[in-house]
Amino acid sequence: MATIKRLATVALSVSLLAGGAAALAPAASAASASTCTYNIADHNAVVGYNGVNYRTGPGTGYTSKGFLYSGDDLRIYCGKGDWYYSKLIYRSKSGLSAGTYGWIRKDMLVNLAG
């Protein structure tokens, strides 16, 4: 009986510790649309420069998913500061798949149209 209680206590402790660690760790989608502080009414945009990082979050501290090049088309959904959350409309010139979501600095775009 004491062994069962001890195992139950250990199991409870492990699950609480794991839950606490999960609560402290950022979610895989932590830098998604939920990070936005303002909405944009679904506008299309065109990348204006070559070798622009398409990032996992709104800042240079976030990982790059790859590069965008002049003429790549995006759908803009919302923003945070100087960054827009967007989706690639077509496959990028660097090979990123159509439908890839990411963040781009707004001054890297040359055309924003509704």
DSSP string, 5-49: HHHHHHHHHHHHHHHHHHHHSPPTTTTSGGG-SEEEEEEEEEE-S
The CATH number given to 33-113 is 2.30.30.40
pLDDT at 100: 97
> How confident is residue 7, by pLDDT bands cut at 50, 70 and 90?
very low
Burial letters for 63-79: b for 16+ Cβ neighbours within 10 Å, e otherwise?
eebbbbeeebbbbbbbb
Query: Which token pair is 65?
Result: 């998913």
What percentage of the chain has pLDDT greater than the value 90? 62
Residue position matching structure tokens 């709104």: 58
Give the residue from 110, 98, 106 showing the smallest Cα distance to 36.
106
Residue 6 has pLDDT above 60, yes or no: no
* pLDDT tens digits, one per residue of 97-106: 999 999 999 9
Q: Convert the pLDDT of each residue in 63-98 to its tens digit.
A: 999 999 999 999 999 999 999 999 999 999 999 999
